[in-house]
Structure 1
Amino acid sequence: MTAPATARSAHLLRLVLSCRKMTAQVTCADNYSIIAMASSSEQEFAKDYRAKLNRFPRSRIYWDSKIASKIGDKLAIRLREVGVSSVRIDVQEELSRPIYYRKMLTPFYDSVKRIGITIDGAEDLPYLG
């Protein structure tokens, strides 16, 4: 059962994905300002990024499900610090992603939920293991 539009979260979780980096940001629906953000380009992930960059044969994608899970943890902790307990996602945008990205994002959503942040719309996403 979905909540009415007035009871839904006023914070939108958006993911910006490329083969080199993953960025998760939560914006306020009223003024589109960024409330919390976590990215694979942060200092914590620089060592892993350099290792994948210099690996032979070269990889097409420089982040994986393990890094996505860590980014989810960081984002959820930052959301808790500012007092946000619920976010929503654009389900159609998430379903339009290529299948290899969706598989790697399942641990991201799981880690955000594990910290205690509710994700409205995540129940409509098929878990791909």
Structure 2
Amino acid sequence: MPALVQGDTTLKYGIASLVAVLLLLAGIALAGAGHGWMAGAIGCFLLAPVLFLAVANGLGGAPSFRRAVVLLVGVLALGLGVAMATAREGSQYLDRFLQATGNTGLATASAAYFGALLIATLAAARAWPGPRRRR
């Protein structure tokens, strides 16, 4: 399978770094100077290295299917952890954050978490070896 980013691996890691930095910025935005949705912010900070690895694996010439599945499970587990932490700290912080930021806050949280899930899923789909043929 040809690499999605031909030649220089610097571009592959550059794209992965850009995605991770955008996720870190989303985490800062979700934190809201300490008065925002802290569970969501911490989840973004934990999700950034997982997403870096998922992008780097997905853009490579021969992506590892096992690694892609492990990273997809990691993204799902972090999403579940954020949901549980939000329920534990009380959803009033999330409600106040969304009231203060409106659609921008909702778009930031959606892009961060659903984008991470989409990227990890696409990386796993690209690495999927396909159906095995019987001989």
Considering only CA atoms, is the larger Rg found in Structure 1 or Structure 2?
A: 2
Interval containing the TM-score (normalised by the shorter chain): 0.3 to 0.5
Q: TM-score, normalised to structure 2's length?
A: 0.32
Q: TM-score, normalised to structure 1's length?
A: 0.33
Higher strand share: 1
Higher helix share: 2
Higher relative contact order (CA 8 A, sep 6+): 2
